[in-house]
Amino acid sequence: MTLQNSDKSLAEFRRLIDAIDAKILESINQRLKIAKEIGAVKIRKGAQVIDPERESTLIERLMAHNKGPLSKENLYHIFKEIITISRQIQTPQLNDYLGPGATAVYAVIGDPVSHSLSPVMHNRAFAHTGYNGVYVALRVRDIAAAASGFRALGFKGISVTIPHKVSVMDCLDEVDARAREIGAVNTIVNCDGRLVGYNSDYLGAVKALADAVDISDKTVVIIGAGGAARAIGFGIIRSGGRVVILNRSPEKGERLAEALNADFQPLSEVREIEGQVLVNTTPVGMFPHAEQMPLEKNLLRPDLVVMDIIYNPLTTRLLSEAVRTGCRTINGLSMFVYQGAVQFELWTGEKAPLDVMKAAVESALQRV
């Protein structure tokens, strides 16, 4: 091919790309117009505009149909950006709810809660994106009274942690269908005085696990039977995995196993881990009791993948013993940041700065 022909060929290719770009722009604008109309319909019907489950399913479907050369990672980032812009068009009230210049107030509630690094993560995200919000930690024992207070004070959003993820559901005006199916709420959005509950735990946990291991057709053994165990068990089953629940309290463990259609073993009777993945969802080993671990170390074996959802400390005793045994390990940071990103997007309608949020937590943990 001569240089002249090569130049002509290059020009032809560029014309093709220009034509494709024009079609992409037209399609995106058409999508945004439809998204705006959908948002208006949802608002008229009193339905929730933001649907993280729908967004997750949409991206999963696109990934399944993607034939390349676009990578899954690039596909995720492209469509995440498009979804974020669609949210902003659908929900201008998210930014106008408290009026111009007003600071939106958010909180994490639990008992205990002083260990939480959610304020560090979310306040850094607010500052990075220029969002006028502040996030605080509140120790709450009376969940019903707290919910009334959030309505009265106009808190825009709440993160819910131990021990309120299940009991808070009775205090809300509405619970997202997926969170109701799971049976636990860890995220609350204040929609014009109506408190609406969501669950971002299962999305965060499945994403963290998927970064390290394909859980489809795997048996995942979950230690614990609280709200986090419910959410994670649900996410694993939905991703094609099988779940076994281990818990100190047989009654609570059996109840969760029945809800998930999973198997159950009393923790005290476990002689071996019958699965490929082990996930600790209990607070055993959390700061300041970092010397504790939720099961005997002799139950670990080298071929296990071990995840601990505790992020403070980042390397729990369970994970330390797992490393010594030869296991592949996943700390709680990824799940914590992923679920926090879902919360941020539910509250603000903006794309979460994942790297910034992760760096903020890592920096805080180095000072602990």
Report whether pLDDT(100) > 60. no
Share of the chain above pLDDT 70, in %: 90
Check whether residue 257 and residue 327 sit in a common domain: yes
Averaged confidence pLDDT in the chain: 88
Check whether residue 171 and residue 215 sit in a common domain: no
**Average pLDDT estimate for 48-70:** 77
Report whether pLDDT(86) > 90. no
Give burial (CB, 10 Å; 0-12/13-18/19+) of 274.
Answer: exposed
CATH of the domain at 224: 3.40.50.720
Check whether residue 216 and residue 322 sit in a common domain: yes
Check whether residue 322 and residue 257 sit in a common domain: yes
Q: List the domain range (segments joined by +) for residue 324.
A: 203-331
Check whether residue 224 and residue 294 sit in a common domain: yes
Q: Are 246 and 265 in contact (CB under 8 A)?
A: yes
Give burial (CB, 10 Å; 0-12/13-18/19+) of 97.
Answer: middle
What pLDDT does 101 receive?
A: 53
How many Cβ atoms sit within 10 Å of the Cβ of residue 141?
A: 11
Check whether residue 193 and residue 212 sit in a common domain: no
Total domains in the fold of the chain = 3
What pLDDT does 7 receive?
A: 60
Angstrom distance (rounded) from CA 81 to CA 78: 5
Check whether residue 315 and residue 209 sit in a common domain: yes
Give 125's pLDDT tier (boundaries 50, 70, 90). very high
What pLDDT does 263 receive?
A: 95
Query: Reduced to 3 states, what is the DSSP secondary structure of residue 365?
Result: helix
CATH of the domain at 107: 3.40.50.10860
CATH of the domain at 55: 1.20.59.10
Identified catalytic residue from 165, 207, 351, 358: 165
Angstrom distance (rounded) from CA 8 to CA 344: 49
What pLDDT does 124 receive?
A: 95
Q: Which of 65, 90, 115 is the last residue of a domain?
A: 90
Q: Which of 90, 109, 139 is the last residue of a domain?
A: 90
Check whether residue 211 and residue 325 sit in a common domain: yes
**Average pLDDT estimate for 311-330:** 95
Q: Which of 90, 107, 126 is the last residue of a domain?
A: 90
Check whether residue 227 and residue 138 sit in a common domain: no
Check whether residue 325 and residue 218 sit in a common domain: yes
Check whether residue 317 and residue 357 sit in a common domain: no
Report whether pLDDT(93) > 60. no
**Reported pTM:** 0.73
**In the structure encoding, which two tokens stand for residue 36, read together?**
């705006």
Angstrom distance (rounded) from CA 164 to CA 156: 18
Active-site annotation holds for 165: yes
What pLDDT does 302 receive?
A: 96
Check whether residue 209 and residue 317 sit in a common domain: yes
